[in-house]
């Protein structure tokens, strides 16, 4: 057994830890919190509420695997949702065009940030910091008052529910209620699957790992390092645009405070999911579980009668701390092995 | 040399000046002042009035800049050291200010959230020392993660960034104490009889202390050495782990001082709003000062000038009635322009361009 663990790659080990922690947490929640968590709908609600965050976290993981970081995704969520909300409500827009707006914002962001990071060699943290500032500021310039979108076709899309067969439960009145997910969840799962396949089986996907792992040797392997970095930021921002729209679809309102702290949640989920900050190590499935762990903690805190809002922040930070220390210990172990 | 003439020497002098690191923030400062001078000379008017207590106070936009910029300048001192030694930045200073401020109020008020005048539990000095210790402890925690566990500073401080404001609320049981003692307001306002705002004096005192530390200790040299090359500084007998850790503790101290000013300005605290986004401004100040954000050589005074440039920019934008929520968009544009021009590849290209034109002139 111990030999098996020793032979595990860092990526698998981190993923295994994450999965174990998540399962333990969910089982613990079922045991100590009682019925709520046994209903499948509780789990689906977590998915519904965090579909946007899942996409943002996938985007973040991609950049982190390539060795960068992007803290503008939260600001982009606000910008996308506000722009689309204003377009839909004040200009009587239609839904497909609003989706196009979200994609275009993502594309524009990706082109600029990717160029600055990859070709001008500016630190990704600073570039995306400016990106975050810009997005938050622009959101206020577009419109500063929060409002709910009343556009009919949008509301219809927002309320669209996809029933999950066999997962329903009987409510207090004795009526069978179908379990459901929102459209955003389908999009999020599609993104997870596509990203997983891309990172695992395509040449481009492997080159992200190569560049993040060791830039110099990636260069010697004949990988176009600059282009790979550029593409990672481009895909990240486009995904952030999609994630922003999914988030918007869930909340159904445009507000400056939309996606507040989403960048930190996305980074935290990626780290908890086993993506290494130093680059080169990471797994999209882990990221998905990272988001779910984060959301489960929030749910547990909310239902545990720890009404005080501060517990959420403190527990997430504690979890982040533990996972970061594990990563750091792993890195130290790896270095020792390399020396031998 | 003599053939060059006076024109050449002036060019030389100018070239030397441009190459100085502190030139960038000072140029930005002059540019902003010039902008204000052209579009509204009224910006520079300083008036001597009296405040509600009947004491003489100075007021005017320039006074606002040096008053409100104090916290940022103090934080810039600590952030410069952290940047130089660890090659990363602390993004938890805003949350740490909330913690230090909350501690300060908790020690002063106890469980009574509305103490009457003269009913404070301890003297302000004692409370300040305790809040300093708490802030330094949190700095030490960040420093431990960075120095011992070798986690990237921005990510290590992400932990405190996420938890900080929650911890601050927890310290005071989510109550918002209000202190009515006028003495407590002196640190963020005016001392009766002195027309200059107190934060200015506090900031100057911090700068003097920082200057003395740089002059009489090797801290500056050591943190640069660690930032430039950690392994070679270890081979030279330095202790990189301790020095990195120490810079975070120093930043903690700066945070406590800034928190005193911030809390004193309101005589109260709002956990989610106090010092919001100040970490970004502090990092920006360091970057504006021309310091490499990847660590190594630094110029403390350039960072401090950078801090005041940011405050000047904020005040100028406020003057043109830009809503405070839209400010970040303008700041972002400034940041991007700055980093693009200070990026090594761009500098190289500009340098090549200059050489080409010179060659053409020669030909």
- C-alpha to C-alpha distance for B324 and A137, rounded to whole angstroms: 9
Q: Can you give the pLDDT of all 340 residues of chain A as single tens digits?
A: 455 555 556 667 778 888 888 888 888 888 877 667 777 888 888 888 899 999 999 999 999 999 888 989 999 999 999 999 999 988 888 889 999 999 999 999 999 999 999 998 888 888 888 898 899 889 988 888 888 888 888 888 888 888 877 766 777 677 777 778 888 999 999 999 999 999 999 999 999 999 998 888 898 888 999 999 999 999 999 999 999 999 999 998 888 888 887 888 898 889 888 888 778 888 899 899 999 988 888 887 777 665 566 777 787 788 888 888 887 887 777 777 777 6
For B157-211, the pLDDT digits (tens) are: 888 988 888 899 888 888 888 888 888 888 888 888 888 899 999 999 999 999 9
**A and B: number of Cβ contacts within 8 A:** 136
- C-alpha to C-alpha distance for A67 and A61, rounded to whole angstroms: 10
Q: 10 Å Cβ neighbour count for A189?
A: 16
Among residues A131, A139, A108, A249, the alpha carbon closest in space to that of A188 is found at A249
Tell me whether residues A277 and B158 touch, CB distance under 8 A: no
The more confidently predicted of residues B11 and A30 is: A30
Dihedral angle of Cα A24, A25, A27, A30, to the nearest 10 degrees:
170
For A181-190, the pLDDT digits (tens) are: 888 999 999 9
Average pLDDT over chain B, rounded to an integer: 85
For B39-62, the pLDDT digits (tens) are: 888 888 888 877 777 777 888 888
The beta-carbon neighbor of A317 closest among B152, B163, B333 is B163
- C-alpha to C-alpha distance for B195 and A288, rounded to whole angstroms: 58
Does B166 reach chain A within 8 Å, measured CB to CB? yes
Q: What is the CA radius of gyration of chain A?
A: 21
Residue B79 with chain A: CB contacts under 8 Å: none
> What domains are defined for chain A?
2-331 (1.10.3470)
Among residues B20, B134, B26, B157, the alpha carbon closest in space to that of B82 is found at B157
DSSP A299-330: HHHHHTT--STHHHHHHHHHHHHHHHHHHHHH
Choose the mutation target among B90, B151, B277, B338 for the interface with A, i.e. most A CBs under 10 Å: B151
Query: Residue by residue, what is the 3-state secondary structure of B249-318?
Result: HHHHHHHHHHHHHHHHHHCCCCCCCCCCCHHHHHHHHHHHCCCCCCCCCCCHHHHHHHHHHHHHHHHHHH
Tell me whether residues A120 and B283 touch, CB distance under 8 A: no
The topology under which CATH files domain B17-41+58-321 is ABC transporter involved in vitamin B12 uptake, BtuC (1.10.3470)
Does B343 reach chain A within 8 Å, measured CB to CB? yes
Q: Which residue of B has its CA nearest to A144?
A: B325
Q: Is the pLDDT of residue B295 over 90?
A: no
Does B11 reach chain A within 8 Å, measured CB to CB? no
Residue-level pLDDT at A56 = 95
Residue-level pLDDT at A340 = 67
Choose the mutation target among A130, A142, A336 for the interface with B, i.e. most B CBs under 10 Å: A130
Residue-level pLDDT at B1 = 41
Does B158 reach chain A within 8 Å, measured CB to CB? yes
Does B145 reach chain A within 8 Å, measured CB to CB? yes
- C-alpha to C-alpha distance for A312 and A310, rounded to whole angstroms: 5
Q: How far apart are the CA of A163 and the nearest CA of chain B, in angstroms?
A: 36
Domain-by-domain residue ranges, chain B? 17-41+58-321, 331-363
SS3 A167: strand
Per the CB < 8 A criterion, the answer to whether A29 and A38 are in contact is no
Tokens encoding B163: 């938890």
Residue-level pLDDT at A308 = 62
Per the CB < 8 A criterion, the answer to whether B54 and B192 are in contact is no
Residue-level pLDDT at A1 = 46
Does B111 reach chain A within 8 Å, measured CB to CB? no
Tell me whether residues A310 and B161 touch, CB distance under 8 A: no
The ipTM is 0.73
Does B150 reach chain A within 8 Å, measured CB to CB? yes
CA–CA–CA angle A216, A222, A227 (5° rounding): 80
SS percent in chain A: helix, strand, coil, step 5: 75, 5, 20
């Amino acid at each position: 057994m111990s030999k098996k663990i020793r032979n595990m790659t860092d990526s698998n080990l981190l993923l295994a830890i994450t999965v174990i922690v998540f399962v333990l947490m969910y089982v613990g929640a079922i045991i100590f919190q009682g019925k709520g968590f046994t209903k499948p709908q509780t789990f689906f609600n977590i998915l519904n509420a965090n579909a946007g965050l899942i996409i943002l976290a996938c985007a973040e993981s991609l950049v982190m695997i390539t060795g960068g970081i992007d803290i503008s995704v939260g600001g982009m969520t606000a910008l996308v949702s506000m722009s689309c909300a204003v377009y839909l409500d004040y200009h009587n827009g239609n839904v497909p065009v609003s989706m196009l707006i979200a994609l275009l914002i993502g594309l524009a962001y990706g082109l600029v940030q990717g160029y600055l990071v990859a070709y001008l060699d500016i630190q990704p943290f600073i570039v995306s910091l400016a990106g975050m500032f810009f997005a938050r500021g622009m959101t206020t310039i577009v419109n500063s008052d929060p409002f709910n979108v009343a556009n009919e076709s949008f509301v219809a899309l927002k309320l669209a529910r996809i029933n999950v067969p066999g997962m329903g439960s009987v409510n207090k009145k004795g009526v069978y209620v179908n379990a459901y997910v929102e459209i955003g969840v389908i999009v999020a799962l599609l993104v997870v699957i596509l990203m997983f396949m891309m990172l695992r089986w395509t040449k481009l996907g492997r080159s992200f790992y190569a560049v993040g792992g060791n830039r110099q040797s990636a260069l010697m392997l004949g990988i176009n390092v600059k282009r790979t970095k550029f593409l990672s930021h481009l895909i990240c921002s486009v995904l952030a645009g999609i994630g922003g729209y999914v988030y918007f679809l869930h909340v159904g309102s445009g507000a400056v405070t939309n996606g507040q702290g989403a960048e930190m949640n996305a980074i935290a989920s990626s780290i908890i999911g086993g993506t290494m900050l130093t680059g080169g190590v990471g797994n999209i499935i882990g990221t998905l579980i990272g988001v779910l762990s984060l959301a489960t903690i929030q749910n547990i805190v909310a239902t545990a009668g720890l009404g005080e809002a501060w517990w959420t922040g403190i527990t997430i930070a504690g979890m982040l701390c533990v996972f970061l220390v594990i990563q750091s210990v792993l890195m130290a172990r790896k270095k020792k092995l390399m020396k031998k | 040399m003599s053939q060059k003439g006076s024109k050449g020497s002036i060019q030389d002098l100018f070239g030397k000046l441009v190459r100085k690191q502190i030139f960038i923030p000072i140029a930005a400062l002059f540019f902003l002042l010039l902008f204000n001078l052209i579009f509204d000379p009224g910006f520079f008017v300083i008036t001597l009035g009296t405040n509600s207590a009947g004491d003489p106070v100075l007021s005017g936009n320039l006074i606002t800049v040096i008053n409100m910029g104090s916290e940022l300048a103090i934080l810039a001192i600590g952030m410069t050291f952290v940047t130089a030694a660890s090659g990363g930045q602390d993004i938890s200073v805003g949350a740490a200010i909330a913690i230090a401020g909350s501690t300060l109020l908790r020690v002063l008020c106890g469980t009574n959230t509305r103490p009457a005048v003269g009913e404070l539990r301890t003297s302000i000095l004692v409370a300040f020392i305790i809040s300093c210790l708490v802030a330094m402890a949190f700095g030490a925690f960040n420093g431990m993660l960075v120095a011992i566990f070798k986690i990237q500073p921005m990510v290590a401080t992400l932990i405190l960034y996420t938890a900080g404001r929650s911890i601050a609320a927890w310290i005071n049981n989510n109550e918002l104490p209000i202190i009515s003692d006028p003495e407590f307001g002196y640190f963020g306002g005016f001392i009766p009889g002195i027309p200059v705002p107190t934060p200015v004096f506090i900031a100057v005192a911090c700068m003097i202390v920082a200057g003395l530390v740089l002059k009489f200790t090797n801290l500056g040299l050591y943190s640069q050495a660690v930032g430039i090359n950690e392994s070679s500084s270890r081979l030279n007998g330095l202790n990189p782990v301790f020095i990195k850790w120490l810079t975070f503790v120093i930043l903690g101290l700066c945070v406590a001082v800034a928190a005193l000013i911030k809390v004193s300005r309101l005589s109260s605290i709002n956990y989610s709003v106090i010092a919001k986004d100040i970490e970004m401004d502090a990092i920006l100040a360091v970057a504006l000062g021309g310091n490499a954000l990847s660590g190594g050589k630094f110029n403390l005074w350039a960072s401090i000038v950078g801090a005041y440039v940011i405050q000047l920019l904020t005040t100028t934008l406020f003057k043109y009635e830009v809503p405070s929520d839209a400010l970040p968009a303008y700041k972002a544009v400034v940041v991007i322009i700055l980093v693009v021009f200070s990026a090594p590849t761009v500098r190289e290209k500009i340098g090549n361009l200059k050489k080409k034109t010179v060659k053409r002139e020669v030909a």
